[in-house]
Amino acid sequence: MNTDPARQFEDALASQIQRVRDEAEISPPDRARAVALARQALSAGVGSKTIPLLAALNRKLPVDTEIVTLHGVALRLEQKLVEAAEVFAAAQGAGSDDPVVLQGLAQTRYELGLPAATLFAEVQRVNPGNLDILRNRAAAMAAEGDRAGAMELLLAALGTNPGWLDGHKVLTSLRWTGGDRHGFASSYADAARVEPGNAAVWLAWFSAVAQTHDWEQVRAILAEAEAHLGITAAILSAQLFTACEGDDPVRAEALLAKTAHITGDTINLCRIRHALRQDRFEAARDLIQPQLGGASAGLFWPYASLAWRLLNDARAQWLDRPEVTIQSRTIGLNVAEMAELGEILRALHSMEQPYAEQTVRGGTQTDRSIMLRHEPILQRTRTAWLEAIAANIAGLPAPELGHPFLREARSQLLLGGSWSVRLRAAGHNVPHTHPIGWMSSSLYVAIPDAAARGPAPAGHITFGTPPPELGLELAPYCSIAPEPGLVVTFPSAMWHAVEPFAAGERLMIALDIRPPQF
């Protein structure tokens, strides 16, 4: 008798698949058992194993909303968006008018880069009070070129829902990326005056403006917030952040004492970054150490690297190991495919400027996850790129217990995000990390020739350089000269940057691989 729970689960799935395939019609009890097993698989995080069962059920019951939804969800979890859209569309074509199915189709088409605004509008007519649907409709409208209509839709909703933070965030992003550097956050200001006691609105307004480093306006927002709300832990934390990042070390010292009782990731990062700025490397190390075992460890490993390097601690080499964790190889695409890829990417760079929170300077960055889109060349690129990444993963050192990058599970390659960056003359990326990823990768599509970009390391990707605002004297580990078709992989927690170059176009795609699961 097999007592292995995983094997028993797989046997149960196989039995259900065979039963569904064999029966001419699915009885209600069999349907209920199959659906319960599929839900169990999804809850256990093994959605890929339930896809064949749900596909078999879906063929027999094409307008069963629950089965269609579960099938679509399972495919989406495996990032098979083309197949998920086909499942939702087939149900609609077979006569399903359920808004859940329509919403699944709309959301999946939007993520694929296909028109979806009209579908979201249909869903919204059934659920007129659902602000999440309205937000997604506005995002789809903007993606399809109707930015003015999207902003008008959001403004109307915010007029009756001034505390709707998601609406403010989308509207603010549309305004900023459309080139509005002054009035981009005005909806927050209007809402704060309508609901002056709403702390969440004040703090969201503060965060939106702080991302632009307009410290004078940030201080004015916090002063006004304090006048309405009094001194709260959140306002003290925001004031500390402003003092640290706005280069006011004397005020930062005073606020560090006032905020000693406050906990949280943001304030811990403030303390660590301030200690590094003040050359208190031992203090920074001691602040970092307790954070490395928590749920937010990805935020703190990059700072552990800096503190350990500055203290000549051997753990820096144990953590980073650039000689083996940074790898490169050529992707399996020919010259014509690379040219086609470049044309697709250029058409997607429609913003006037990148999102305020992004690290791009002198260029633009695309929205949504670009490698999940529907275009065949992007689908082929994704397959070839993941093959290159898998080959690099196979070349990594053996797993090590406790290491954030050299973990045991390495087989599941799901994207945590993907985007394209297009830089022009003097364009660059400031040093940064990708806290939500495990492994990150760059794929270079078009590069200025050596004469145009200037002497090395112009246009290179560099590793190990700390953010300049910390004032730390640490040389980069290395730099890599980009070439069309080159794939570079590296730990998401490693500091990296793009060096400025003199002239030309530097076009690339980047992605993060999610932390693999066992």
Q: What is the pLDDT of residue 358?
A: 86
Q: Of the given ranges (12-26, 371-385, 454-468), which has the lowest mean pLDDT? A: 12-26
Element (H, E) at 348: helix 335-348
Does the pLDDT at position 368 exceed 90? no
Stronger pLDDT, 409 or 69, i.e. the higher one: 69
Please state, in angstroms and rounded to a whole number, the distance separating the CA atoms of residues 13 and 7: 10
Residue type, 483: E
Q: Are 222 and 192 in contact (CB under 8 A)?
A: no
From residue 352, give the alpha-carbon distance in Å to each of 179, 215, 422, 461: 5, 23, 12, 24
When pLDDT is cut at 50, 70 and 90, the band that residue 17 belongs to is confident
| Average pLDDT of the residues in 363-371 | 93
Residue 480 pairs in a beta bridge with 461
Tokens read off for 260: 């000693």
CA dihedral (287, 292, 296, 301) positive or negative? positive
Please state, in angstroms and rounded to a whole number, the distance separating the CA atoms of residues 338 and 331: 10
pLDDT in tens, 67-113: 999 999 999 999 999 999 999 999 999 988 899 999 999 999 999 99
pLDDT in tens, 39-60: 988 888 777 888 999 999 999 9
Please state, in angstroms and rounded to a whole number, the distance separating the CA atoms of residues 372 and 375: 9
Tokens read off for 144: 């399809």
Does the pLDDT at position 226 exceed 50? yes
Neighbours of 140 (CB within 10 A): 23
19 burial type by CB count under 10 A (0-12 exposed, 13-18 middle, 19+ buried) = middle
Please state, in angstroms and rounded to a whole number, the distance separating the CA atoms of residues 57 and 64: 9
Q: Are 478 and 472 in contact (CB under 8 A)?
A: no
CA dihedral (81, 87, 91, 93) positive or negative? positive
Give me the chain's average pLDDT, please.
Answer: 94
Longest distance between any two alpha carbons in the chain, whole Å: 78
Does the pLDDT at position 10 exceed 80? no
Q: Are 239 and 254 in contact (CB under 8 A)?
A: no
pLDDT in tens, 435-461: 989 999 999 999 999 899 999 999 999
User: According to DSSP H, which parts of 395-471 are helical?
Assistant: 450-453
Q: What is the pLDDT of residue 270?
A: 97
Does the pLDDT at position 356 exceed 90? no
Q: Specify the 3-state DSSP secondary structure of 486.
A: strand
Q: What percent of the chain has pLDDT over 70?
A: 98
When pLDDT is cut at 50, 70 and 90, the band that residue 21 belongs to is confident
| SS3 track for 11-55 | HHHHHHHHHHHHCCCCCHHHHHHHHHHHHHHHHCCCHHHHHHHHH
Q: What is the pLDDT of residue 365?
A: 94
pLDDT in tens, 497-514: 999 999 999 999 999 999
Does the pLDDT at position 350 exceed 50? yes
CA 307 to chain centre: 26
Q: What is the pLDDT of residue 518?
A: 45
Please state, in angstroms and rounded to a whole number, the distance separating the CA atoms of residues 19 and 302: 52
When pLDDT is cut at 50, 70 and 90, the band that residue 5 belongs to is low
Please state, in angstroms and rounded to a whole number, the distance separating the CA atoms of residues 2 and 442: 45
Buried-exposed string 334-361: b where 16+ CB fall within 10 A, e elsewhere = eeebbebbbebbeebeebebbbbebbbe
Q: What is the pLDDT of residue 252?
A: 97
79 DSSP 8-state letter: T
Does the pLDDT at position 1 exceed 50? no
Q: What is the pLDDT of residue 355?
A: 86
Does the pLDDT at position 517 exceed 80? no
